[in-house]
Chains A and B, each alone.
Chain A
Amino acid sequence: MIVALSLLSYALTLAVAGPRLLRAGSWADRSPRLAIAAWQALTVTVLASAALAGLALTFPTMTVSADLAELLRACVMAIREQYASPGGAAAGATGAVLSLAILGRTMWCLGSGLAGMARERTRHSRILDVVGHTDTHRDVVVLDSAEPAVYCLPGRRRRTVVTIGALQALDEAQLDAVLAHEHAHLTERHDLILGLARALASAFPAVALFRTAAEETARLIELRADDAAAARSGRLTVAAALLAVATGSIALAPAVALAAGGAGAAARVRRLIPPHQPLGSARTAAGSLAVAALFALPVLLLGGPAAAAAGQNLCPDGYVSTSTTAL
């Protein structure tokens, strides 16, 4: 019971305080890659803690033993003991429902999210096959449209698409920067990272944490890809390329361009203009450790009491176990 409650309160604390911590200061903008990992760790840990809390309620005692028969017997004893009382049975049932609901909902939304992504991509790709021209020199697909747009289709048949409008708006160095940006999206599988974040947000719409995580992830993968492009082409070139593509679309289709939300683009250009100040290696290491600690804590919560109780014999007399442990 105590383990379940501490796991639940850990999940709650993280869900409330986590986003505030991750958004404090400018460290995320300076090291978007670490920030993406931190958001992933935060959401997965909250989810896992809540699911594990349910598990801890359902199976109060687990045994660590070399002998399988012995382990099963000890387990059965402990479970029987708990379920003999109505309160214990209710807690166990609640825990099971909690765990299964969280796991089921997550799996369902993740599965349907990924399937939808694949379907949409296939449909888009089929049309692209017919109407796009392949530029083998640059390894891109060119679309006959005056609207400047650059995007990529991740997945097994990954491709980068550039419109004629974008080719006209960009000079050679800027185009190189844009392609490096898309290349980073493709090789680092940002689509899966964002797909996971969005699946969680749609699975638990009431949890603000998941919504915030999805929004932040969408923003951070762009910053990360900008950094990758800047490493190749220089920050000012990337900034100029962003401006060229973003302002080009205003002249032609203001409604479409602005409906897509212009704030992100301006913030990205602003970030690229001053010289880059990446996080120092000490702070990056500290951040990475903090991210790892997020994951480790629920495991310790589960394993700590188990270790403390090691050697105790929780089973009825007449049954001797060398290493039964309680959670």
Chain B
Amino acid sequence: MPKFGDLESAIMEQIWRADGPLLVREVLDGLDRRLAYNTVHTVTEILHRKGWLTKEREGRAFRYGAAAGRDKYVAGLVTEALSLTDDRTAALLGFVEGMRPEEAEELHRLLSAAREQDATA
């Protein structure tokens, strides 16, 4: 039995990969797993409630589409990670911030000089 988060992720993956909104049946076919229709349907509904998926009626069933592209979510996360100095709560801790090009150039020179020194020593 896959973890709930994994299934959410797999369903989103299917819908992002598709050209347009999908029926639950189509999502299930793409998942290539032995999952019950009801399980996939429930998780799809949860994703809709959480705002990840849009839902439109088609006949007696519903088609689910992505509320936003995957790139948009990724970009949001990366922007949060890069604007850490504005983050007053310390929820995330980053590795390094940006640097001015002229400064970077000088530091590259200093670093290669130090490396050469290391190599000769």
Contact = CB atoms under 8 A, between A and B. Distances in A.
Interface stretch (A5-13, A95-103, A242-250, A314-322): A242-250
B96 A242 contact: yes
Interface of B: 5, 8-9, 12, 52, 70-71, 73-101, 103-104, 107-108, 110-111, 114-115, 118
Contacts of A150: 94-96
Q: Tell me the dominant secondary structure on chain A's binding face.
A: helix
A116 interface: yes
Contacts of B89: 113, 116-117, 120, 195, 198
B70 to A, nearest CB: 6
A254 B99 CA distance: 9
A260 B91 contact: no
Contacts of A190: 90, 93
Interface of A: 113, 116-118, 120-121, 124, 127-131, 143-145, 147, 149-154, 161, 163, 178, 181-182, 185, 190-191, 194-195, 198, 202, 218, 221, 236, 239-240, 242-243, 245-247, 249-250, 253-254, 256-262, 264-266, 268-270, 273-274
A151 B94 contact: yes
Contacts of A116: 89, 91
B111 to A, nearest CB: 6
A151 B88 CA distance: 16
B107 A124 contact: no
Given A144-B74, A249-B98, A258-B98, A152 B93 contact: yes
A161 B75 CA distance: 13
Given A130-B12, A152-B92, A266-B104, 12 more contacts: A120-B92, A130-B9, A130-B52, A182-B93, A190-B93, A246-B104, A250-B100, A250-B101, A257-B82, A257-B97, A260-B84, A261-B85
A109 B88 CA distance: 12
19 contacts: A113-B89, A116-B91, A117-B91, A127-B77, A130-B12, A144-B71, A150-B94, A150-B96, A178-B95, A191-B93, A198-B90, A236-B111, A250-B98, A250-B99, A260-B98, A262-B99, A265-B97, A265-B98, A269-B107
